[in-house]
Structure 1
């Protein structure tokens, strides 16, 4: 997950209010339910020590969602009586959550608004394709490809003229597959889509798949749905979830391989909180991997005003010249360090059943060399 959008949260030091609410239930009493949630979150923030203007700002932002059609939920981050950032969620939290502390509580975003591949869905047949753009929060038409319409159907005859006609039919199919592939490649370049879902009969899917540029081959997944049969939201979600799972597994494999020292006895990946703190201070985080709710994520570390000022003990911050110090969760401190240096952060939640005790402490990183 790229976290550049979080940078406004790290421009000013100080205490932060963070809130997560679910908006997935659309019932007759939803307005009352959401109003009560806003009240409950504000009370919880006040109980944790948040100032009244900030509690009020969060309350008003959440209360404004009473009539919102958002399908999942919203995260709200505020300080000094002002909401600084609101993030639509792609998965609702089980219960409303509220946090008050020296850093915004952003780690839940990895699972609640994290890997959400923007997908191009192509419904293909021999005449062309209909293309949709899909994500957890988006469903819109993205184009239509109409190829050659004749000749389209084979003949069962076996004389020379009929075989010649059949070759023309084959040529029409291949021409149309090439046009669909070109349209998909152009649409992917324009939208930045992470995933291409090809729907249709085996031959049509395969023909289009083979015509796509090599750079897009690993973004493709297929299903037998035809051109005139829409994928149901659940089916799209299952395909997108499998795509995310495969991506996370690939990053775990990269991490495993990178932990092996090279000829100079240098490893390109580390785990364990002390080594991660050192890498963050040296701006060497290339990608941060997190198992939410694992033991090390909840450990408290000491942070200063700047993202690279963090340590296991307060004395270490004093040794590097930092006068101000606060205690914060290790995961949020490391996410801050990763976000401001442009390092992506990935949750291992989609692959917990496949990776066993990988990152038992919950934190690891691929490193960049200076």
Structure 2
């Protein structure tokens, strides 16, 4: 998943309140259930030793977001009386009660499961005359471009007369020129947004024509949908389903590729000592996490700086940590990944690798 939005969580010390809130289904008992949830969170934070200021700001945030993000799960991170981060989730924890932690590091690992690995995606609504281009990200969607191609001639006739066939050739030339213009605009949008995916929506002929003119380099994957369109009132529900399916297939394919690189004979690292050293030296390109692995909950030692990371307290102190503290290995490595611009991927529970549940692919390999 993209970790860039989590930088505020590594730029200040804890301890941290991390609260993952499941979906609230609206019914006649909604208000009572919200109140029970808030009491549950306050009781857990008080039991764990959270300070009054942080408990208060979490309670205020739960009240404020209950209506704003109704029926949508989200996560809160708070420290020292400040709400530092509130992010929407693709899905929430099971059950009705929020999952609550009070710890020296923010509890980051559940994000890999609940936020999902959704790549940025351009959706192009194409027809013979042009296209409307939309960017979809985990934060929402917005228009990023419009193409108005040649408007005449656009429509063929049914006549077989020679002059009419000549006119029809002009029509097809117009379609082809417009498809080239759309492909050029999409390539420019990709450069500006960095979107990995492109979904072309419209009739098959227009989609195929645009696809044929896309540059070889750019999008990681290009998908098609026959649903949606530029016409006013077009139903986008089935298009949304297609976009979600294409994005999920892409994420699955990407994870499979990473695991192939990581596997037997690959260049992956998975012993905790090697991972800690690689993180400390900023050599981790992609962190792989299987949250049920035994290494995920192992104890490591760290300090206020993410680079102050070691297996032993004395080693963390030697790295400059004035008051080293113990933390979960998965959260400490994820904090390092955020700080160093690395990526992080949740691997399926039935994966053979990484054996201990934590692994990494390096930024570079040694020959």
Q: Output the TM-score relative to the length of structure 1.
A: 0.85
Pair 244,151 (structure 1): closer, same or farther in 2 beyond 3 Å? same
**Is there any run of 5+ residues in structure 2 with no aligned partner, and where?**
none
Q: Which residue of 1 aligns with 2:216?
A: 214
Give the paired residue count.
358
1:251 is matched with 258
Give per-residue Cα distances to partners, 1:67-113, cap 9 Å, x unaligned. 21455222111222222222222333324110011111011122322
Structure 1 residue 321: Cα displacement = 5.9
Q: How does 1:1-370 map to 2 (within 5 A)?
A: 1-23=1-23, 25-69=25-69, 72-95=72-95, 96-155=98-157, 160-225=162-227, 227=229, 228=231, 229-232=234-237, 233-256=240-263, 260=266, 268-318=267-317, 320=319, 322-349=321-348, 356-369=351-364
Q: CA deviation at 1:121?
A: 1.7
CA 1:286–1:193: 2 relative to 1, 3 Å? closer
Q: Give deviations 1:133-165, integer Å, cap 9, x for gaps.
A: 334552444554333343334456555434423
Q: Single out whichever of 70-79 and 147-156 deviates more from structure 2.
A: 147-156
After superposition, the Cα gap between the structure-2 partners of 1:135 and 1:5, relative to the gap in structure 1 and judged at 3 Å, is closer
How far off its partner does 1:8 sit? 2.4
1: CA distance, partners of 2:164 / 2:54: 78
Q: Note closer, same or farther for the CA distance 1:180–1:28 as it changes in structure 2 (3 Å cut).
A: farther
Return the offset for 1:333.
0.7
Aligned-residue offset at 1:18: 0.8
* Cα separation, 2, equivalents of 1:185 and 1:307: 37
Change (3 A) 1:76 1:10: same
Residue 211 (structure 1) shift:
1.4
CA distance in 1 between counterparts of 2:16 and 2:84 reads 10
Are the equivalent residues in 1 in contact too, given 2:262–2:353 (CA < 8 A)?
no
Instruction: Tell me how far apart the structure 2 counterparts of residues 140 and 25 of structure 1 sit (CA, whole Å).
Output: 27
CA shift, 1:190, in A, is 3.9
Are 2:105 and 2:331, in contact at CA under 8 Å, matched by a contact in 1? yes
- Could you tell me how far apart the structure 2 residues matched to 1:28 and 1:119 are? 38
Say whether the 8 Å CA contact 1:301–1:313 is kept in structure 2: yes
- Report if aligned partners of 1:181, 1:208 keep a CA contact under 8 Å in 2: yes
- Secondary structure of 2:258's counterpart equals helix
SS at match of 2:65: coil
1:279, distance to aligned residue in structure 2 (A): 1.3
Give, in angstroms, the shift of residue 291 of structure 1: 1.6
**SS of equivalent residue, structure 1 residue 286:** strand
1:46: how far off? 1.4
TM-score (norm 2): 0.86
2:3, 2:343 within 8 Å by CA — same for their partners in 1?
yes
Contact 2:13 2:304 in 1 (8 A): yes
Q: Deviations over 1:161-206 (max 9, x none)?
A: 3442332122111012112222323333444433211122332211
Partner Cα separation in structure 2 for residue 169 and residue 272 of structure 1: 63
Judge conservation of contact 1:291–1:359 (CA < 8 Å) in 2.
yes
